[in-house]
């Protein structure tokens, strides 16, 4: 029955999305009925809310997927809040005592009213050893609910894929795989504790970041006890203004902290919504909730640094190289077409100095370009995209004078990442040159054999080699130049090598006609 209910709720939204996305792609987001898109997106949002915690989280994930949704859908689904009325304390107490023993021995005291409730857990204030702490408790019975809904999603995905474009199928399957993995990790608070400790260790180089301590002897798979650190919500503009906080610098600090986690540390907080970031009286940032983190292997991290540096320097060719290395483009892509699309999109949207490019512009580039061409978002980059889009929302709330690419340049310089990026570029170029050299080595004997055969044929017919020699020289020159060109443009280099053979053939034909 649950599967039938989910299909009944979601199928109309899938069909509406299919129609809307096709039109969005065809018209490149221009001259479309935006209000109709928003209306359909709101229906999807209501369906997610009605289906419960797992689908609320799924909607939140989709809100950052520029490769799947048109911009109006992303904007509407970003309004989804992971806020669910807490379960009664009488139902929660057995969870705590099952892991920590009698409540009056585990804590000096605990409030019975949760001050925060989410889909997977709820948070209480308590005291321990004279210190204020917060106790995060898994919602009773949530694991059974989550596993049932994940089974349902796995069942209906093949059916839903029949109604979406082929370009989307890889992204959708990768998204569901990452979503499944992440939501299961979120339900293990020992993992969250480990995530918190690792990020706290990494953030020691940022004195403007505050991360709570964990009480290990009061932490289990179902219960997480942490230091209580109160602060002002990062999007509470009135309160921040009363505190005298420089909100422009605050937005810059948020971006620097989260993008340095991403590009330097390779483990990053992937759920930086406003409820998870507070500000102290002296302007420091308090980060909460480490259930959802992203991890990148070193190779992926370096390729992501390459991608950002290429965007900063407005270099479409290097941008495509980095995207290809990250697995963001299907193997059979037309490089020339995609490079031109990225170049034209950047020019059309900005038409000004790179410093004036903002994060919203980059997200719009992603949305419009990903929807038109065979792009896909690999599983390991889904959380990065989510983090980036949520950070953008904080900037939009504050409406301050903020230039993302200028800040990105500072991050790359401060974290000493530019050198790493250029080293990767050199390695990439050397790799391409090695391929071109290998191609030259493989083809050179064939060219030599062709020249020898043509010369022999000409001599047998009593002709000279007047056309063969200049043809050989010209063909060799074109071939060598094409081999060098291959390092910067594989398609053009390959075409040039083929052209060298055609030139040689043409001169051979002329030699026969003399």
- Calculate mean pLDDT across residues 245-252: 96
110 and 159, same domain (yes or no)? no
412 is written with which tokens?
A: 């790359």
For residue 53, is it within any domain? yes
340-347 own/partner pairs: CB under 8 Å, 24+ apart = 340/316, 341/369, 341/372, 341/373, 342/316, 342/369, 343/316, 345/369, 346/314, 346/316
For residue 393, is it within any domain? no
Local confidence band at 356 (pLDDT 50, 70, 90 cut-offs):
very low
52 and 198, same domain (yes or no)? no
122 and 13, same domain (yes or no)? no
In contact, 428 and 321? CB cutoff 8 Å: yes
205 and 116, same domain (yes or no)? yes
Is the model's pLDDT at 239 over the cut of 70?
A: yes
135 and 11, same domain (yes or no)? no
For residue 409, is it within any domain? no
In contact, 239 and 315? CB cutoff 8 Å: no
pLDDT at 98: 96
470 and 505, same domain (yes or no)? yes
For residue 223, is it within any domain? yes
pLDDT at 349: 46
Local confidence band at 353 (pLDDT 50, 70, 90 cut-offs):
very low
For residue 11, is it within any domain? yes
User: 167: domain range?
Assistant: 1-81+143-186
Of 130, 165, 186, the residue at which a domain comes to its end is 186
63 and 94, same domain (yes or no)? no
For residue 93, is it within any domain? yes
CA dihedral 379, 175, 66, 203 (to 10 degrees): -50
> Between 82 and 369, whose confidence is greater?
82
The tens digit of pLDDT for each residue in 148-197 reads 999 999 888 887 777 666 666 767 777 788 889 989 999 999 999 999 99
- Note the pTM of the prediction, 2 decimals: 0.76
pLDDT at 251: 95
For residue 178, is it within any domain? yes
Local confidence band at 354 (pLDDT 50, 70, 90 cut-offs):
very low
73 and 12, same domain (yes or no)? yes
Q: Mean pLDDT across the chain, nearest whole number?
A: 81
10 and 119, same domain (yes or no)? no
CATH of residue 104's domain is 3.30.200.20
107 and 219, same domain (yes or no)? yes
29 and 178, same domain (yes or no)? yes
Total domains in the chain come to 3
99 and 182, same domain (yes or no)? no
For residue 321, is it within any domain? no
The tens digit of pLDDT for each residue in 455-472 reads 565 555 555 545 555 555
The tens digit of pLDDT for each residue in 201-233 reads 999 999 999 999 999 999 999 999 999 999 999
Q: Which of 38-52, 302-316, 366-380 has the lowest mean pLDDT?
A: 366-380
Of 204, 228, 252, the residue at which a domain comes to its end is 228
């Amino acid at each position: 029955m649950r599967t039938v209910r989910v299909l009944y709720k979601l199928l109309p939204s899938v069909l509406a999305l299919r129609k809307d996305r096709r039109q969005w792609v065809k018209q490149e987001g221009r001259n479309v009925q935006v209000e109709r898109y928003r209306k359909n997106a709101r229906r999807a949002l209501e369906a997610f809310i009605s289906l419960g915690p797992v689908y609320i989280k799924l909607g939140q994930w989709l809100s950052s997927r520029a490769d799947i949704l048109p911009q109006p859908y992303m904007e509407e689904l970003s309004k989804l809040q992971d806020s669910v009325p807490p379960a009664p304390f009488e139902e929660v107490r057995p969870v705590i005592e099952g892991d920590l023993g009698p409540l009056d021995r585990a804590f000096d005291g605990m409030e019975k009213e949760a001050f925060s409730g989410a889909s997977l857990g709820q948070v209480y204030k308590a005291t321990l050893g004279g210190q204020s702490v917060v106790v995060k408790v898994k919602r009773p019975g949530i694991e059974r609910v989550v596993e049932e809904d994940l089974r349902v999603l796995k069942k209906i995905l093949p059916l839903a894929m029949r109604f979406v474009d082929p370009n989307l199928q890889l992204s959708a399957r990768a998204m569901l795989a990452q979503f499944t993995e992440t939501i299961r990790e979120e339900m293990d608070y020992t993992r969250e504790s480990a995530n918190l400790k690792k990020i706290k260790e990494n953030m020691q180089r940022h004195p403007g970041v505050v991360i709570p301590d964990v009480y290990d002897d009061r932490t289990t798979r179902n219960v997480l006890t942490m230091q209580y650190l109160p602060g002002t919500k990062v999007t509470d503009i009135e309160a921040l203004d009363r505190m005298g906080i420089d909100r422009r610098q605050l937005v810059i600090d948020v971006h620097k902290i989260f993008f340095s986690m991403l590009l330097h540390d390779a483990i990053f907080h992937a759920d930086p919504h406003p409820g998870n970031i507070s500000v102290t009286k002296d302007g420091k940032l308090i980060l909460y909730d480490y259930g959802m983190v992203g991890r990148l292997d070193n190779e992926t991290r370096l390729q992501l640094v390459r991608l950002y540096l290429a965007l900063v320097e407005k270099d479409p060719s290097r941008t495509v190289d980095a995207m290809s290395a990250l697995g963001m483009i299907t193997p059979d892509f037309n490089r020339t077409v995609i490079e031109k699309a990225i170049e034209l999109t950047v020019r059309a949207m900005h038409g000004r100095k790179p410093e004036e490019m903002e994060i919203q512009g980059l997200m719009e580039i992603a949305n419009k370009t990903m929807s038109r061409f065979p792009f896909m978002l690999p599983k390991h980059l889904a959380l990065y995209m989510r983090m980036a889009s949520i950070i953008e929302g904080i900037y939009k709330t504050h409406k301050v004078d903020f230039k993302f690419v200028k800040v990105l340049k500072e991050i790359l310089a401060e974290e000493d990442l530019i050198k790493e990026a250029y080293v990767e570029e050199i390695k990439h170029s050397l790799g391409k040159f090695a391929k071109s050299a290998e191609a030259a080595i493989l083809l050179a004997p064939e060219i030599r054999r062709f020249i020898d055969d043509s010369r022999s044929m000409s001599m047998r017919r009593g002709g000279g080699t007047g056309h063969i020699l200049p043809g050989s020289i010209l063909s060799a020159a074109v071939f060598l130049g094409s081999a060098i060109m291959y390092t910067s443009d594989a398609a053009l280099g390959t075409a040039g090598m083929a052209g060298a053979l055609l030139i040689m053939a043409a001169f051979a034909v002329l030699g026969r006609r003399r």
